[in-house]
Amino acid sequence: MGLALPMTGLQQAWAREGVEVGGNSMFTKLVPAETIENSAAQQYAQMLQQAAAKNALAGKDHPQVRRLRAIAQKTIPHALGWNPRAANWHWEVNLIGSQQINAFCMPGGKIAFYSGILDQLKLTDDEVATVMGHEVAHALREHARERMGKNAATGIGASLLSQALGLGQVGQTVTNYGAQLLTLQFSRSDESEADLVGMELAARAGFDPRAGVSLWQKMAAASKGAPPQWLSTHPSGRTRIADIESNLPKVMPLFKPKAAQ
């Protein structure tokens, strides 16, 4: 189910307040955005079909679906300043029944939460907005497109090298985008960037960005025995909390509690 969002005046740029993360990577230019977004839409639809076949796709009247979509309605309009393409995305938010503590936003605004992250972590609305902002930030900053661009650059480089050495065509560029979307792992810098952009999105939407601290405390408690930071592409919970706390002064002025809006 797509989200009907008020777009009037939302594309105007605000004076740059909040976090600073620089421009999108040049590697994104190696892969067409439209191709990745179309592949993501197909992959997302297939996932929903599979979930529905297992009776694991929550209906539109499910309380948690209504909750997620209400938070999205407040959050997504503030995404447009980060990526002008987002104004034309067909945003969707769905809930899949699974014990996984996970959520994602595919390129093109395809959001899914697993019931495990809501049930096991007992997320507040502020914490849900933090998770959603983080996942939406990955899409806005085109981290998947960047990863694929780097893969394409590696393939192109191998191909050019092999041709120069007379070895024939051995490298190849990105071909199966849909399959890659399911296996991509974001870098530590991608994750840290998504944390910062996500907390700004949450703050602008009227959700307390300080919830990032309690969220990662809950994540840390739920992932005892996880590998140390240097063995993982994800920053440790302690590192993430420190980064969030150091950036709170930049986003707290943007936070207007819902009661005061």
Best CA proximity match to 140, nearest among 85, 200, 92 = 85
**CA–CA gap between residue 15 and residue 258 (Å, rounded):** 22
Q: In the 8-state DSSP scheme, what is residue 258?
A: G
The one catalytic residue in 127, 135, 191, 200 is: 135
CA 11, 255, 4, 122 torsion: positive or negative? positive
Q: Distance between CA 191 and CA 150 in Å, rounded?
A: 17
213-238 residues labelled b (16+ CB within 10 A) or e (exposed): bbbbebbeeeeeeeeeeeeeebbbbe
Tell me if 36 sits within 8 A of 148, measured CB to CB. Answer: yes
Alpha-carbon distance of 258 to 137, in angstroms, equals: 22
State phi, psi for 25 to the nearest 5 degrees. Answer: -65, 145
Instruction: Say whether 135 is catalytic.
Output: yes
Residues in the chain: 261
Report strand pairing: 103-106 vs 92-96: unpaired
Catalytic residues: 135
